[in-house]
Amino acid sequence: MTIKRLVALMLVFLVSLAIGCGGAAAPGPAAQPTTAATSPSASTAPAKPVNPELILATTTSTQDSGLLDLLIPMFEKQTGYRVKPIAVGSGQAMTMGERGEADVLLVHAPDSEKKFMQAGHGTDRRLVMHNDFIVVGPAEDPAKIRGEPSVLAALEKVAEANALFVSRGDNSGTDQLEQKLWKLADLTPKGQSWYQQTGQGMGATLSVAAEKSGYTISDRATYLANKNLQLKILVEGDKSLLNVYHVIVINPSKSDKINVQGAKAFADFMVAKDTQDVIGKFGIDKFNQPLFFPDAGKQDEEVGG
């Protein structure tokens, strides 16, 4: 009996040992999810670009309105690129692109943009957003244009009244639109005593118009960002005053220094859903209205640009 009991005890011990070893192995695979749980944060970190420096030539309205101050940090955080924005008129921005002095453009001069693309200066042009132009002036409104539905009729009244009109005169998108409107109205304001050109951006031109109690044409976003100036919106809503923005990737044949990958990344960013959502909400908290309307995915004909 003693031997049998000893054998039985040994068998129980061996069975317990086998069960214990089998159970000890279980924690090994179970530990793997802990490692996997930490991997998403590492995988979402942006890979460092080979060439992180990106030059963006853009219209002054995107900077004067504050939009770039919001979008550029977002882009840099998501991609690892460092953006150097150069805010000039759209005409000058396209000249920079033609010379290979910028990698990507954000501009609002559709007629010039189409010629730019036809000449092969850009490889990709995408619709980003729109807002509108407005005619602003002093509350006294000496030319009596307040509420005029036709911008051409308003310009005719300004000319007839010899009322001061302040133009940017810098070949910007705004300036190109203004010159087009004068031509459509069959008027030649240059050289007239009542017509002055600043050669400066939109914010500075608004300041001059306010100081001299003159009229000017502005994009709505920059006007609202400078609303403390004593200028009133007098003419708005004419479909001729549509203001459309596109992003353009510069042709790398312009210079071996063109950051093609960075330019494509910025263009993709500008039309991405998250960015478009931010654009559509920009300005609501401060002005109770959006300063820009997102248009990615639309055709130019749908917007009018």
DSSP per-residue letters across 69-83: HHHHHHHHHHH--EE
Among 2.60.40.420, 1.10.3470.10, 3.30.2350.10, 3.40.190.10, what is the CATH number of 132-241?
3.40.190.10
Pairwise CA distance, residues 211 & 218, whole Å: 16
List average pLDDT for each run of 10 residues in the chain, which is 305 residues long. Answer: 47 45 42 37 68 96 93 98 96 96 97 96 98 97 98 98 97 94 97 97 94 97 87 96 97 96 98 98 94 94 80
Determine the pLDDT at residue 42: 40
Distance CA 52, CA 259 (A): 9
**Rounded Cα distance, 155 and 172, in Å:** 19
In the chain, list all ranges with CATH 3.40.190.10. 53-130+243-298, 132-241
Whether the predicted model's global pTM rises above the 0.85 cut: no
Side chain identity at 219, as an amino acid letter?
Answer: D
Rounded distance, CA 279 to CA 222, Å? 15
CA distance 100 to 263: 12
Q: Report the Cα 219 to chain-centroid distance in Å.
A: 14
**What six digits make up the tokens of 259?**
């950051």
Element (H, E) at 104: strand 104-107
- H or E element at residue 166: strand 165-167
Residue whose entry in the numeric block shows the structure tokens 């002036």: 137
pLDDT at residue 275 in the model = 98
- Check residue 37 and give its pLDDT: 36
- Return the CATH fold of 53-130+243-298: D-Maltodextrin-Binding Protein; domain 2 (3.40.190)
CB neighbourhood size of 23 (10 A): 9
pLDDT of residue 20: 47
Cα–Cα distance for residue pair 157/12, rounded to 1 Å: 109
Write down the pLDDT at residue 295: 97
| pLDDT recorded at residue 46 | 73
Under 8 Å between Cβ of 124 and 211: no
β-pairing verdict for 216-219 and 122-137? antiparallel
The amino acid that residue 191 corresponds to is G
